[in-house]
C-alpha cells in the first residue's frame, strides 16, 4: 500500500464489518448472492473472509462428509493469491473455471463422448453444406466441384486426401508451381485448378470433414486414442479430430452435460455445497447457466446449494463477460453492496465516482486518504505530459498501435493489424490475442509464437531448470536422468537466428536429428499434425488469413490469401520478438511502462497517465466511442440510458481506478466538448 492509506476510520470500518456480516448471514442461510463492489473496494478481501467464515462454521462437517468449498477465479495468478492468503486450506478448492470444470466432467467420459460425437457430426454437416450448397458468392472452383458426378467427386476427394503431405509441402509455393505439381496427381480435374487459392480453400474443407468422419469411425470402433475426450489448458485451440477441446468448447460441453444430467448436478452439489466466483462480471454466460442450474437443483433436492458472485459490473470490459446481465441469467440472487475504497486516495475516488454514473458511489475507508493528485492536463501534448512524469509511471493508451510503437513491437503488430482474421468487427481482438498478458487468451498465431519464444528464451537463461524445457506430456520424460536433461538443453541451445524464420528452421532441423526426446519437445511446441517448415508456414497463413478458422489449418477460408504477410512476419528480427515476449510476460524494464486500457485490468499502480483518444477499431461505432461517451456525458448524468455507452464508460472507469495516488489525463483529440467535459470532471 502507498504511504498514507493506513488509518481506518472507525465508523466506516464498523459499517464494512456489518456488510461482511450481511454476507455471512446470506451464506449461513444458503441464500445465493451477488456482491457488488467498486474498484479497490476489497472484493478479494470480502471473498476470502467469506471463505474463512464457511471454514470456521462448517469446516468440520465438510471434512467429515469429504466435501469442499469451490472457489473460481479469473486467472491462475488470482488463484495463487487466494491460496496463499488462505494458507492453502485443503477445504477450499481454488482454481480457474476451466480447470475446475474439467476436473468435474472428465470422469464422465461416456457422456463426454456423446457430446463430442454430436459436435463432430454437426461440424461434418457444416463442412459438407459449405461444399454442396449453392452460394452466389462462390468461386468457379466450387461450382466445378458440385458439377462432378458422385463417383468423380469421391475420386477427387480420395486423390487429395492421399497427398496431404505434398499439399502442405507445396502450400507456400507460387500459384504456377502449385498448379503444375497437382497436374501430376489429378490431371482429370484441372477445371478445379482455375484458382490456386480457391483450390486450397476447397481442399481445406475436404480435409476437415474427412478428419471428422475418420474420427467418428474410430470412436465407433473404440480405437486406441479415441476412447476419451481430452483438454489441455496450455493449448487454447480445438483439435476435435484428435479428441482435444479448447477453453470455449470445454465451457460448452460442461453446460450441456450439467443441463442434461440432473444426477451430475447433484454430484457437484454434494461435493461442493458452497461455490464462490471471483470477478463475476467476466464470467461467461455458459458458466452462469451452469451455476443457476446447480442453484435450482439444490433447492429441488432440499439441501440448498450456495452460489456467491463477487465483482463489479462496471468493470466488465470483455465481450464474453456476463456484466450487468447476471440477474437475468441467474434469477433470485440476493444483492449486497459495498461502497468503501481501500486502494486509492480521495482525489482519485472522486474522479472514478463521476465516471460510474450508477448508484454505487465510493468513499475511502481511511482517514489519511488526502494528498493524491488527479489532474486533466489541458493543452499539454503527449510529450509534454510525459516530461512531467518523474519516477515510474504507467501510461495507458487506447490504441493497440500506439502501445506497439512505444514498446518496440510495431513490425509484429502491423502484420497482425493487416491480417484478414482481424478485419472488421474482429479488429479489437488484436488486443486480447496479441497483446494479452494472459497466455491463455492469445490467438492461434500468437500462441504459437509465444511457445516458440518461451523455448527460445528458456534455453538461454541459466536459471531455467532443465526440466522446465520438457514440453508436452511430462510423463513421457520420466526415464530421463540429469545427464540426459543437460544434453537436451545443450542441443537446444544450437537454435540460433537473427529472424523468426531462422529460428523456426533451426527448431525443425533440431527436431529431425534423431533424438526422440528432443523431437518430442519440438513437436509439443508446435502442436501440429506435421512438424516441418512448410506445414508451419501453412499454419501461420491460415491463422492470419482466415476469419472463419475454428480448428485447424486446413479448415480456413483462404479467399483473400496473402503469403507475403507471413513472409513479413518471419523476417522480423528476433530481438523484437523477445520484446513482445517480455511484454506478454510483464517483465517491465523502463520507467515509463505502456499498456492498453484492456491490459490493465486487475492491476494497480502508484502513478498513472491516461491518454484519452476518440476511439479505436475499424467499426464505425467504435471510431469515436470514447468521444461520444464524453460528449453525451451531461445527458447521461441526467439519467439517459447507458446501454449504448457502457463499453466506453467501463473501459475508462477501469483505467482511472488503476491509480493509487497520482492520476494524469490528457486528451489528444479535437473535440471541444470532450475537453470541456474532462475539465468539468476534474474541476478544472
Secondary structure (DSSP) of 428-497: THHHHHHH-SSGGG--HHHHHHHHHHHHHHHTT-TTS-GGGG--S-GGGGTT--HHHHHHHHHHHTT---
Which residue in 122, 106, 278, 291 sits closest to 209, CA to CA?
122
Least reliable range by pLDDT among 89-98, 503-512, 600-609, 611-620: 611-620
Retrieve residue 556's grid coordinates: 480456413
User: Is the pLDDT reported for residue 618 higher than 50?
Assistant: no
The three-class DSSP label of residue 1 is coil
User: Is the pLDDT reported for residue 403 higher than 80?
Assistant: yes
User: Is the pLDDT reported for residue 613 higher than 80?
Assistant: yes
123-140 average pLDDT score: 79
Retrieve residue 361's grid coordinates: 458511489
pTM above 0.85, yes or no: no
Query: What is the DSSP code (8-state) at residue 601?
Result: T
Between 414 and 137, the higher pLDDT residue: 414
Based on the number of CB atoms within 10 Å of its own CB, is 30 exposed (0-12), middle (13-18) or buried (19 or more)? Answer: middle
User: Is the pLDDT reported for residue 537 higher than 90?
Assistant: no
pLDDT for position 547: 42
The residues near 44 (Cβ < 8 Å, ≥ 6 apart) are 78, 81, 82, 278, 310
pLDDT for position 559: 38
pLDDT for position 3: 56
- The pairing of strands 592-596 and 393-397 is parallel
pLDDT single digits (tens) 552-567: 443 333 333 457 889 9
**Gap between the terminal Cα atoms of the chain:** 28
pLDDT for position 602: 83
pLDDT single digits (tens) 319-371: 778 988 999 999 999 999 999 999 999 999 999 999 999 889 999 999 999 99
Retrieve residue 61's grid coordinates: 462437517
- Residue that has been written with the C-alpha cell 491518454 in this structure: 611
Between 389 and 571, the higher pLDDT residue: 571
Which residues are registered as beta bridge partners of 336? 35
Which residues are registered as beta bridge partners of 335? 34
pLDDT single digits (tens) 1-11: 455 788 999 99
User: Is the pLDDT reported for residue 550 higher than 50?
Assistant: no
What is the distance between the alpha carbons of residues 72 and 78, in angstroms, rounded to a whole number?
A: 9
pLDDT for position 529: 65
**Cα 472 to the chain's mean position, in Å?**
21
Tell me how far CA of residue 91 lies from CA of 68, 74, 95, 414, 593, in angstroms: 5, 20, 13, 48, 39
What does the H/E/C string look like for 312-369?
Answer: CHHHCCCCCECHHHHHHHCCCCEEEEECEECCCCHHHHHHHHHHHCCCCCCEECECCC
pLDDT single digits (tens) 250-267: 999 999 999 999 999 999
pLDDT for position 344: 96
Which residues are registered as beta bridge partners of 394? 593, 608
**Four-residue CA torsion sign, 671, 676, 682, 684:** positive
Cβ–Cβ under 8 Å, residues 193 and 563: no
Q: How confident is the model at residue 684 (pLDDT cuts 50, 70, 90)?
A: low
Percent share of the chain, pLDDT over 90: 51
Q: How confident is the model at residue 41 (pLDDT cuts 50, 70, 90)?
A: very high
Retrieve residue 516's grid coordinates: 526422440
Cβ–Cβ under 8 Å, residues 541 and 524: no
pLDDT single digits (tens) 640-674: 888 889 999 999 999 999 999 999 999 998 999 99
Q: How confident is the model at residue 75 (pLDDT cuts 50, 70, 90)?
A: confident
Tell me how far CA of residue 134 lies from CA of 116, 200, 354, 640, in angstroms: 28, 19, 55, 47
pLDDT for position 562: 58
pLDDT single digits (tens) 453-466: 999 998 888 777 77
pLDDT for position 548: 38
The residues near 35 (Cβ < 8 Å, ≥ 6 apart) are 23, 43, 46, 47, 308, 309, 310, 311, 336, 337, 338
User: Is the pLDDT reported for residue 17 higher than 60?
Assistant: yes
Where on the phi/psi map is residue 365: left (φ > 0), alpha (ψ -120 to 50), or beta?
Answer: alpha
pLDDT for position 76: 78
What is the distance between the alpha carbons of residues 343 and 2, in angstroms, rounded to a whole number?
A: 9
Tell me how far CA of residue 460 lies from CA of 183, 464, 525, 585, in angstroms: 46, 8, 16, 16
Which residue in 361, 366, 399, 351 sits closest to 663, CA to CA?
351
What is the distance between the alpha carbons of residues 132 and 126, in angstroms, rounded to a whole number?
A: 10
What is the distance between the alpha carbons of residues 653 and 323, in angstroms, rounded to a whole number?
A: 14
Query: What is the DSSP code (8-state) at residue 573?
Result: B
The residues near 452 (Cβ < 8 Å, ≥ 6 apart) are 500, 503, 504, 507, 525, 526
User: Is the pLDDT reported for residue 23 higher than 90?
Assistant: yes
434-449 average pLDDT score: 84
Amino acid at each position: 500500500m502507498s504511504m498514507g492509506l493506513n488509518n481506518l476510520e472507525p465508523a466506516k470500518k464498523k459499517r464494512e464489518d456489518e456488510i461482511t456480516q450481511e454476507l455471512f448471514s446470506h451464506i449461513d442461510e444458503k441464500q445465493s448472492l451477488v456482491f457488488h463492489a467498486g474498484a479497490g473496494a476489497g472484493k478479494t478481501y470480502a471473498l476470502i473472509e467469506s471463505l474463512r467464515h464457511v471454514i470456521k462454521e462448517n469446516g468440520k462437517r465438510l471434512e467429515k462428509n469429504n466435501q469442499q468449498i469451490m472457489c473460481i477465479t479469473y486467472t491462475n495468478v488470482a488463484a495463487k493469491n487466494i491460496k496463499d492468503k488462505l494458507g492453502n486450506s485443503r477445504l477450499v478448492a481454488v482454481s480457474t473455471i476451466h480447470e475446475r470444470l474439467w476436473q468435474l466432467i472428465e470422469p464422465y467420459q461416456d457422456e463426454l463422448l456423446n457430446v463430442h460425437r454430436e459436435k463432430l457430426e454437426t461440424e461434418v454437416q457444416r463442412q459438407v453444406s459449405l461444399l454442396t450448397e449453392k452460394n452466389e458468392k462462390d468461386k468457379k472452383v466450387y461450382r466445378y466441384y458440385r458439377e462432378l458426378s458422385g463417383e468423380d467427386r469421391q475420386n477427387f476427394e480420395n486423390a487429395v486426401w492421399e497427398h496431404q503431405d505434398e499439399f502442405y509441402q507445396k502450400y507456400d509455393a507460387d500459384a504456377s508451381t502449385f498448379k503444375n505439381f497437382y497436374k501430376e496427381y489429378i490431371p482429370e480435374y484441372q477445371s478445379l485448378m482455375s484458382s490456386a487459392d480457391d483450390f486450397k480453400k476447397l481442399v481445406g474443407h475436404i480435409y476437415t470433414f474427412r478428419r471428422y468422419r475418420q474420427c467418428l469411425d474410430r470412436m465407433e470402433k473404440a480405437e486406441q486414442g479415441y476412447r476419451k475426450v481430452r483438454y489441455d489448458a496450455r493449448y487454447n485451440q480445438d483439435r476435435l479430430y484428435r479428441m482435444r477441446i479448447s477453453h470455449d468448447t470445454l465451457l460448452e460441453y460442461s453446460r450441456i452435460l450439467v443441463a442434461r444430467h440432473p444426477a451430475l448436478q447433484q454430484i457437484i452439489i454434494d461435493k461442493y455445497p458452497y461455490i464462490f466466483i471471483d470477478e463475476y462480471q467476466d464470467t461467461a454466460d455458459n458458466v452462469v447457466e451452469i451455476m443457476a442450474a446447480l442453484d435450482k437443483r439444490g433447492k429441488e433436492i432440499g439441501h440448498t446449494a450456495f452460489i456467491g458472485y463477487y465483482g463489479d459490473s462496471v468493470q466488465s470490459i470483455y465481450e464474453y463477460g456476463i456484466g450487468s446481465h447476471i440477474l437475468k441469467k441467474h434469477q433470485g440472487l440476493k444483492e449486497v453492496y459495498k461502497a468503501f475504497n481501500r486502494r486509492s486516495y480521495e482525489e482519485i475516488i472522486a474522479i472514478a465516482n463521476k465516471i460510474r454514473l450508477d448508484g454505487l458511489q465510493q468513499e475511502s475507508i481511511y482517514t489519511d486518504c488526502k494528498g493524491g493528485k488527479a489532474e486533466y492536463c489541458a493543452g499539454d501534448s503527449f510529450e509534454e505530459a510525459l516530461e512531467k512524469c518523474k519516477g515510474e509511471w504507467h501510461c495507458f493508451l487506447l490504441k493497440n498501435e500506439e502501445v506497439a510503437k512505444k514498446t518496440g513491437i510495431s513490425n509484429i503488430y502491423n502484420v497482425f493489424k493487416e491480417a484478414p482474421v482481424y478485419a472488421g468487427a474482429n479488429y479489437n481482438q488484436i488486443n486480447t490475442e496479441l497483446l494479452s498478458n494472459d497466455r491463455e487468451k492469445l490467438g492461434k498465431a500468437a500462441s504459437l509464437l509465444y511457445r516458440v519464444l518461451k523455448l527460445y528464451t528458456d534455453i538461454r537463461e541459466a536459471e531455467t531448470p532443465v526440466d522446465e524445457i520438457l514440453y508436452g506430456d511430462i510423463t513421457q520424460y520420466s526415464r530421463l536422468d540429469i545427464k540426459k536433461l543437460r544434453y537436451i538443453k545443450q542441443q537446444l541451445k544450437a537454435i540460433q537466428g537473427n529472424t523468426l524464420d531462422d529460428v523456426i528452421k533451426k527448431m525443425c532441423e533440431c527436431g529431425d536429428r534423431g533424438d526422440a526426446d528432443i523431437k518430442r519437445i519440438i513437436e509439443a511446441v508446435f502442436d501440429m499434425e506435421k512438424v516441418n517448415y512448410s506445414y508451419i508456414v501453412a499454419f501461420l497463413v491460415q491463422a492470419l488469413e482466415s476469419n472463419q478458422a475454428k480448428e485447424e489449418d486446413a479448415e480456413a477460408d483462404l479467399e483473400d490469401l496473402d503469403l507475403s504477410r507471413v513472409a513479413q512476419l518471419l523476417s522480423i528480427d528476433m530481438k523484437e520478438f523477445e520484446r513482445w515476449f517480455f511484454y506478454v510476460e510483464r517483465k517491465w524494464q523502463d520507467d515509463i511502462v505502456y499498456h492498453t486500457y484492456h491490459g490493465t485490468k486487475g492491476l494497480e499502480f502508484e502513478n498513472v497517465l491516461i491518454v484519452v483518444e476518440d476511439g479505436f477499431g475499424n467499426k464505425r461505432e467504435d471510431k469515436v466511442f470514447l468521444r461520444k461517451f464524453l460528449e453525451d456525458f451531461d445527458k447521461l448524468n441526467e439519467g439517459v440510458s447507458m446501454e449504448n455507452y457502457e463499453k466506453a464508460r467501463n473501459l475508462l472507469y477501469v483505467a482511472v481506478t488503476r491509480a493509487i495516488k497520482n492520476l494524469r489525463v490528457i486528451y489528444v483529440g479535437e473535440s471541444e466538448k470532450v475537453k470541456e467535459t474532462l475539465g468539468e470532471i476534474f474541476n478544472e
